[in-house]
Amino acid sequence: MADDKKTLKFQMMMSPAEARDLDDWMFKNRVRSRAEAIRRLCSIGIGAEEAILPDVLSHLHSLIDQLEVFAEEQIDLYANIRDEGRQDNPDLKRAFLLSVDQLMELLDQVEYLRLNVQEQAHAVEQIKAQRSTMNSNIEHFSRQIEIQRNKIRDRLIARGYSTEPQKGEDE
């Protein structure tokens, strides 16, 4: 795809903030033109569905597994403290609070990842919608070009010009 000849041209509108973000991305990635930056970002976005989301989902599942292990350990620890009547033991309280802190940290990470996955899924849906719109626009422009080409050919024929190459012209 990167080696394809770039023949399709289209205009694009963006806000000043989007243009600044694009320029910042260009600078960080040493890209010389906005056109090339947009091509690269489109390529990244199109690949996001195959590359980014599975990794994020895998990490999320791993954190959920860890969360389940921590929760079980915490439940067991609390049950042992209560069953042995050692609720007042300072070392056990510290261990229990540390376990609670770790569990809360894991919950925060899971929530962060959940939001990240949600944002990524939304971005992928936007990319799909934009790709669909772009494909529709390309089809529309192709039809318009063909209509204009036919109109010009019909006008030429109506004025007595031949649209067929003359003998010897294409040699």
| DSSP H or E run through 15 | none
Q: What is the pLDDT of residue 26?
A: 92
Residue with structure tokens 């963006």? 14
Q: What is the pLDDT of residue 53?
A: 66
Q: What is the pLDDT of residue 126?
A: 80
Is the pTM higher than 0.85? no
Q: At what angle are helices 34-83 and 16-28 packed, to 10 degrees?
A: 90
Amino acid identity of residue 45, one-letter, is G
Q: Which are the contacts of 77, defined by CB distance < 8 A and separation ≥ 6?
A: 92, 95, 96, 99
Q: What is the pLDDT of residue 48?
A: 62
Q: Which are the contacts of 71, defined by CB distance < 8 A and separation ≥ 6?
A: 103
Q: What is the pLDDT of residue 171?
A: 47
- Alpha-carbon distance 112 to 97, whole Å? 22
Amino acid identity of residue 140, one-letter, is H
Question: Could you tell me the two tokens for 140?
Answer: 């529309």
3-16 in b/e form (b: 16+ CB < 10 A) is eeeeeeeeeeeeee
Q: What is the pLDDT of residue 19?
A: 92
- Alpha-carbon distance 12 to 56, whole Å? 31
Residue with structure tokens 């991305």? 25
Question: Tens-digit pLDDT profile for the chain (171 aa)?
Answer: 556 788 888 888 999 999 999 999 999 989 999 988 998 888 877 776 666 666 777 777 787 778 778 777 777 777 777 777 776 777 777 777 777 788 788 778 878 877 877 787 777 778 777 877 888 888 888 888 889 889 988 888 888 877 666 665 554
Q: Which are the contacts of 63, defined by CB distance < 8 A and separation ≥ 6?
A: 106, 109, 110, 113
